[in-house]
Amino acid sequence: MNFDTMIDRRSTLSVKWDPSAITNICSNPDAEPFWVADMDFTVPPEAHAEAKALAEHGIFGYPVATDQKTVFMSFVKARHGMTIDEDELSISQGILSSISLSVELFSKEGDGVVVPLPAYAPFLRIVKLHNRTLIPWPMIYDTDRHVFTLDWASLDTVIDRAKLLIFCSPHNPTGIVFSEEELIRVAEICKARDVVIISDEIHADLSFKSFVSVHTVAKELEAKAITCMAPSKTFNIAGEHYSVTLFTDSFMKQAFEKRLHQLWMFRPASYVTALARVSYEKGLPWLEELVTYLKENAVFISDYFARHLPELIFLEPEASFIGLIDAGRIMKLIEADAKANPDLYDPATSPDGSMLSRFLGQRARVACNAGTWFGGQEYASFIRFNFATQRARIEAALDRIKTAIRFLKETYPPPGGQDAR
């Protein structure tokens, strides 16, 4: 597979490439998108062929795929060495809907839900929409080593007020793959307080290192856990809304499946089912090539920053294709630019953006998710960069960022001519 092949995604109903959506995060509809977590690569050839065959057949009736559970079980065994019993899993219509249903079913209004911060924004929205009480669990950011870690001391405090913990590994947006030891510690703490873990593992198959699932650890410890996996990120079929939900508790699984039937959400559409099934069954060789390319992209960005952009820090992820960039060293310069050019930085033009994302959109024509989207102003000096695209596009974007930072340094020199860092 040649992942360097350029593909024009404009005018394809892609929200990632939609000018109005891009404007919403960076104020510039012409900015090039490096935000929404899907990839600028075609799906595995087997999935592409399956989609073509279905389209040419021309009939899209009710689907049935009696082997879809066993196909998934074979895939995770091959990819992660993970053993799952068929009676532990349910097929559902997307990870977020599964998380939302789980919050609805296994807590009540006012109950506390712990969420590590920074966090994927829909987690926070789900808690709010169900009228649960959000209990933030901020991770510790080491400003010398530029890494996020779990704050164990504070977990013991916040968990006592909780009914649920919404976890995420590999973590979005930091890209951390939590170790087995860390997962055991989380599971033991939650079991002791009778807290249910809901774990989003949508990026698991794109890990650059050995991955251990919360499901495996929780099952061993007899802790209550609901683990959500999907082919969405793995095979770049994010818009198809197909997921697999794993349970360590049979009664919770029964309640979940009953609710799926009440909402008539127990059968994904025919196209979705076909693409997920063939991808899990035949897509592993393509996936292994993809993971290698993504890891090389991450290393390329780190090397570029070291050679050309010392003002920025790339928090190189351990999985997937999203990474945080720490721009703390240039925020004073960006603030000066915003003060001098308020029209370029008008929050009304990009309600889901930040000063940093507007700088990148307006001055470098690069659209990224604002760090504030993942937990508020504490993360204002971060942006999330999606590098699941052709390396030439990444290099061109980084070149534009370098030029934009040079403009800042030349236009707003610090007192005494000191370096902006």
Q: What is the pLDDT of residues 20-55, one digit of tens each?
A: 999 999 999 999 999 999 999 999 999 999 999 999
Q: What is the pLDDT of residue 239?
A: 87
Please list the residues that pair with 142 across neighbouring strands.
Answer: 147
Instruction: Encode 324-358: b = buried (16+ Cβ within 10 Å), e = exposed.
Output: bbbbbbbeebbeebbeeeeebbeeebbebbbbbbb
The SS3 assignment for 407 reads helix
Structure tokens of 37?
């977590």
CA distances 146 to 149, 151, 313, Å, are 10, 15, 8
| Domain at 60-281: CATH code | 3.40.640.10
Q: What is the pLDDT of residue 1?
A: 86
Its sign, for the CA torsion 38, 259, 247, 114, is positive
Q: What is the mean pLDDT of residues 398-404?
A: 98
Specify whether the CB–CB gap between 398 and 364 falls below 8 A. Answer: no
- 155 has pLDDT over 70: yes
Helix, strand, coil in percent for the chain, rounding step 5: 50, 15, 35
Q: What is the mean pLDDT of residues 321-331?
A: 98
- pLDDT tens for residues 261-312? 999 998 888 889 999 999 999 999 999 999 999 999 999 999 999 999 999 9
Check residue 321 and report its DSSP letter.
S
Lookup result for tokens 């699941």: 388
DSSP structure string for 47-114 = HHHHHHHHHHH--------TTHHHHHHHHHHHHH-----GGGEEEES-HHHHHHHHHHHS--TT-EEE
Specify whether the CB–CB gap between 251 and 223 falls below 8 A. Answer: no
User: How many CB atoms are located within 10 Å of the residue 251 CB?
Assistant: 9
- pLDDT tens for residues 156-193? 889 999 999 999 999 999 999 999 999 999 999 999 99
Give the domain ranges of the chain. 19-42+285-417, 60-281
Q: ω into residue 170 within 30 of 0, thus cis? A: yes
Its sign, for the CA torsion 331, 392, 23, 25, is negative
- 4 has pLDDT over 70: yes
Q: What is the pLDDT of residue 269?
A: 87
- pLDDT tens for residues 219-259? 999 999 999 999 999 999 998 899 999 999 999 999 999 99
% of the chain surpassing 90 pLDDT: 93
Q: Which of 91-100, 344-353, 411-420 has the lowest mean pLDDT?
A: 411-420
Residue 421: which pLDDT band, with cuts at 50, 70 and 90? low
Nearest-angstrom CA–CA distance, 138 and 156: 13
Q: What is the pLDDT of residue 414?
A: 78
Q: What is the pLDDT of residue 416?
A: 59
Q: Is CATH 3.40.50.1370 correct for 19-42+285-417?
A: no
Q: What is the pLDDT of residue 417?
A: 54
Nearest-angstrom CA–CA distance, 84 and 63: 24
Nearest-angstrom CA–CA distance, 275 and 48: 8
- 329 has pLDDT over 70: yes
Q: What is the mean pLDDT of residues 60-69?
A: 90
% of the chain surpassing 70 pLDDT: 99
Instruction: Encode 99-109: b = buried (16+ Cβ within 10 Å), e = exposed.
Output: bbbbbeebbee
Check residue 351 and report its DSSP letter.
T
Q: What is the pLDDT of residue 266?
A: 86
Q: What is the mean pLDDT of residues 195-223?
A: 98
